[in-house]
Copies of this chain bind each other. A is one copy, B any other.
Amino acid sequence: MKQTHTPPTMKDVAAEAGVSLGTVSKVVNGLPVGEPYRQKVLRAIDKLNYQVNSYAQGLKASRTNTIALLIPNTRNPFFAELVHHINRQLLKRKYRMLLCTTESDTDLEQTYITMVQQNKVDGIIGLTYNPNLVIDASVPFVSIDRVLSPSLPCVACDNFAGGQLAAEKLADLGCKHVAFLRIGSALNNEPNKRKSGFENGCANRNLHYDMMILNDGEPLTRFRTFLEEHRTAEGFTLDGIFCVTDYIAYCVLRFLDELGVDVPGEVQVIGFDGTRAFGSENYICSTIVQPVEEIAATCVDLILQEDIAAKPSLICLPVRFADGGTTRPET
């Protein structure tokens, strides 16, 4: 006699293991659960030959195929480029993007977290500076540039290597006395590592450096004052400047122009990000280029994974130097 099968359901697994349906669901989805419970569920799955994939399939069917992107704004060219590539990557995979320009509004960010919990979106990719954001471990969330929790993957460029590359490049270009200009942030974020990388690079090459750090909110004109102090009767006493972003480099180049200091003749300037005017033209300055397209692809790959908590908590993607006319050709 031929036996007919109905495939076992998650309910059958729960009954066999003597645990609740929620516990089975947690195990199947790789969420934290007490080890004895996990063992019971795994034994029951094994015994009943329960197909985890069919459940995952079921999950997929109830999906919205929508990922939310939280980003401070789209006016900053780096953010705009990021939005562009994440959008293209999602569309390629038939996913839609809910865009939320947060301007760092905590309530807005929290609203989107709630939407994931109510299954209105499948996950969130977020670049947030909000230190109070509450995200529980069940929310699929991929963070950009800031590690929010060890269970949530964070994607960034290799900021430390970028800072180091800037220092070494200035040394290669013949600089002897350089400066590092940045805006400080109390937050423990990835871009802050540019500083340590730069210091490391200067130490490696015995390169003397000054550092000027503004607090959030201080006027950028303080950089102008700093630069003015280095203009002496003998000329400009710095021969290289590393700015923590292209935006600061852009302002610094204006200040130097106003002060009559020639770039790259008297001083060479390197920024960070890889900003190009109109998205497809020349770099606005010599710069450490973030691999925006790869960052976008990695974020999208991660957020569409079943078991996001099992992924590495920090992925750093390689940067490179690009000449944008504010450094001299290498000899």
Interfacial residues, chain A to chain B (CB-CB below 8 A): 66, 69, 73-77, 80-81, 83-84, 87-88, 91, 96-101, 103, 108, 247, 250-251, 277-281, 284
Contacts and interface: CB of A to CB of B under 8 A. Distances in A.
Contacts of A73: 84, 279
Given A250-B277, A277-B250, A284-B277, A87 B75 contact: no
A66 B108 CA distance: 15
A74 B87 CA distance: 10
B99 A99 contact: yes
Given A69-B99, A74-B84, 8 more contacts: A74-B87, A75-B279, A77-B77, A87-B99, A87-B101, A97-B98, A98-B99, A247-B278
A81 B75 CA distance: 6
Nearest to A275: B278
Contacts of A83: 74, 80, 83, 99, 101
Contacts of A101: 83-84, 87-88, 91
Nearest to A277: B250
Contacts of A77: 77, 80, 278-279
Contacts of A88: 101, 103
A91 B80 contact: no
A76 B278 contact: yes
A125 to B, nearest CB: 12
Contacts of A250: 277-278, 281
Contacts of A280: 75
Sort A-B residue pairs by CB-CB distance and give the 8 closest, nearest first.
A75-B279, A80-B80, A99-B99, A74-B84, A87-B101, A74-B80, A74-B83, A247-B278
Contacts of A281: 250-251
A281 B250 CA distance: 10
A89 to B, nearest CB: 11
Contacts of A98: 66, 96-99
Contact of A97 (B91, B99, B277): B99
30 contacts: A69-B99, A73-B84, A73-B279, A74-B80, A74-B81, A74-B84, A74-B87, A75-B80, A75-B81, A75-B84, A75-B278, A75-B279, A75-B280, A76-B278, A76-B279, A80-B80, A83-B83, A83-B99, A84-B101, A87-B100, A88-B101, A88-B103, A91-B100, A91-B108, A96-B98, A96-B100, A97-B99, A98-B99, A99-B99, A277-B277
